[in-house]
Amino acid sequence: MTVRELEYVPGLIAAYRAGYATDHMQLGYWPTGANLAWSEAQQAMTELHIAALELDNAVAVADIGCGLGGSLREVNDRHSHCTLTGVNIDPRQLAICSGMRPKNENRLNWVEASATKTTLNDDSQDRVLSLEAMFHFPSRDAFLKEAYRILKPAGLLVCSDILFSAPKTKLEENCLAVVVREYGPWPMPIAKMNTHQAIAANVGFIGVSTTDLSAQVLPTWQHIVSSKDDPLSNPQAAMKALHHKGRLHYVISHMRKPD
């Protein structure tokens, strides 16, 4: 992946710098029955991932594909004596992250590297997080192998991903092409729901579970897509169309490295 391929990122950074967006770049999460504003739903998605990490003080946490640092900022605010490392291939995003200051005697590190070759040491992390970034990585298989390598024994990986099932119409095929082109890189958009579980088991992870959050993410589009947006040219509208047709699946997976 190259910075050139992440063409949508400058717009997100500009919105953040202008105060129109937070440092959470992900889609929203609406627990069943919840009535949340857009920023609250993004925060809820972060909260869901952080809770799944089962964090304590004095742990080493790596966020792979760390975006603008929102998730590690939350951990930095809440926990102490932790080593927090954000990994991103995009220096533009890391430039935002580098403005964060450590709190509570934590240590912050920002690493410019590929998700599949992080440069972090073997058995160095208690927790690894990847929040809604795996679809950008060159290979899900290579990423899970890298996460396994850097995790300590009994370490926990929490990762979320967007998967697409195969289009059934020409319109769906064209919408998927818009998503891949405008939000690229997206090397392997079509994947089965058990993809993470199958790869993780082969890599050596145990206790692998995957939860489908598609229904709880669906309200995202009414907040960020206008009825005037054309799904054949606007990637958000294309994702909305695919989601409503049941082709877009948002999943979160949890797995451990054996002790």
pLDDT for residue 4:
55
pLDDT at position 3, please? 54
pLDDT in tens, 101-133: 999 999 999 999 999 999 999 999 999 999 999
Question: What is the pTM assigned to this prediction?
Answer: 0.96
Please report, for residues 39, 88, 130, 133, 204, the alpha-carbon distance to residue 184 in angstroms, rounded to integers and kept in the order given. Answer: 24, 15, 17, 11, 29
**pLDDT of the residue at 5:** 72
- pLDDT tens sequence across 193-218: 999 999 999 999 999 999 999 999 99
Question: In the predicted model, what is the mean pLDDT of the chain?
Answer: 96
**Averaging pLDDT over each range in 6-10, 162-166, 181-185, which range is the top one?**
162-166
Above 90 in pLDDT, residue 50? yes
CB atoms within 10 A of CB 53: 20
According to the model, what pLDDT value does residue 7 have?
85
Condensed to tens digits (0 to 9), the pLDDT of residues 214-256 reads 999 999 999 999 999 999 999 999 999 999 999 999 999 999 9
Q: Is the pLDDT of residue 191 over 90?
A: yes
Superfamily of domain 3-161+190-213+251-256: Vaccinia Virus protein VP39 (3.40.50.150)
pLDDT for the residue numbered 2 = 55
